[in-house]
Amino acid sequence: MTRPDPSRLALPPLAGQLLTIAGAAAGGALVNALGVPAGWLSGGMIATALMAALRIAEPLSTPFRWAAMAFSGVAIGSAVTPAMMKSVAAYPASIALMACAVIASTWACSVILSHVRGWSRATAFFASVPGALSYVFSIAAEMEDVDLSRVAIVQVLRVFLLMGFVPLVVAESGVARGAINYVVDPLPTLAVLLLAGVALGALLERMRVAGGMLFGGMLASGLAHALELAPGRPPQSVALVAQILIGAWVGVRFIGFDWGLFGRSAVAAVGSFLVAIGISAAFSYGAMLALHVPFAQTLLAFSPGGLEAMTLLAFAMGLDPLFVGAHHLARFFLISFTLPFALKMWIRGAHKHAADGKPR
């Protein structure tokens, strides 16, 4: 998806990254001022993507990515309350519905993309898998009949559109949280939570757990707040820094983007996104009716991709981030364990079509 670009603004790496983060902060401030829920997150993403298109953005290094995940995890974990923990009882049923949504979405989008000119069935399949992008690419890269550029365009555009689309839906639903007064954790407590989150997150990263640094921060902060070792919430600035950094992290994926190929693939990519989000919304609505969970919350939990972004969006909008994070982690494991078998069935279907003399 990305390639070296000699025409990009020549700045030292650290200066370029700081400029990118500053641009994300400015974009976040602007969108937040417009009253969009989680505006710092979506605005930061949009601003960074524009900077990438103008060749003035710099990829974020691992320390910045870890900072984004750790700050996000500590902020999200602070939302743990006894009332929220009671909602865990609804997880198995809603995760089962989410799994059905993943299967339906992957199949429907694969069928649609496989009928687009220039798209092989294998390319269509990998572009349609909703999430676990690193794992998907590691398998797709070993197959000769997969166009990784097209897969990347669909996958990155899906997360981009989700981060811009979902907050607007939540705003229209009237579920987004207004200003809330709460006790602020003392700075020494916050420092301990961040250090513990980074340590646990680093361990999870070494174990190759999806979003390991994010969940390390969530676990450390969640346990401390559940046991009342931490009295309240981190300062609002912690959540804002997390939103800005994650927005920038998503936006820099457009550095070196092949805009020519994007133009040729945009209709197919946007069309598959609409189909995927439509299927997710349908299953989300069913979960809302069956489990009496807010639709905005189930929509975030069932959305096709973006574990870190969707979990932080839930927190920023006053929804249950544990519910959303649990579903996205479950989706990651579902995809990881079933992808090889699903791919085999899909390829077998291609061979059957060829044997029957039908178009792929």
Q: What stretches of the chain show up as alpha helix (H) in DSSP?
A: 13-33, 39-53, 62-77, 82-86, 91-114, 121-128, 133-140, 148-173, 187-206, 212-226, 236-251, 259-291, 295-302, 307-316, 321-355
Please list, residue by residue across 46-58, b when 16 or more beta carbons sit within 10 angstroms of its beta carbon and e when fewer do. Answer: bbbbebbeeebbb
d(CA 212, CA 202): 7
pLDDT for res 232: 76
CA distance 260 to 238: 38
Q: Which fold does the domain 13-174+185-355 belong to in CATH? A: Na+/H+ antiporter like fold (1.20.1530)
DSSP structural state of residue 185: P
pLDDT surpasses 90 at 278: yes
One-character DSSP codes across 48-83: HHHHHHTT---PPPHHHHHHHHHHHHHHHHTT--HH
Per-residue pLDDT tens over the stretch 98-151: 999 999 999 999 999 998 888 888 899 999 998 766 667 767 877 778 887 788
Would you give the distance in Å from CA 22 to the centre of its chain? 22
Residue 179 has pLDDT above 50, yes or no: no
Backbone angles phi, psi at 5, to 5 degrees: -130, 105
Quick one: CA torsion of 41, 113, 341, 308, rounded to 10 degrees? 0
| The pLDDT value given to residue 10 | 55
Q: In the structure, what pLDDT confidence band is assigned to residue 42 with cuts at 50, 70 and 90?
A: confident
- How far, in Å, CA of 298 to CA of 292, rounded? 10
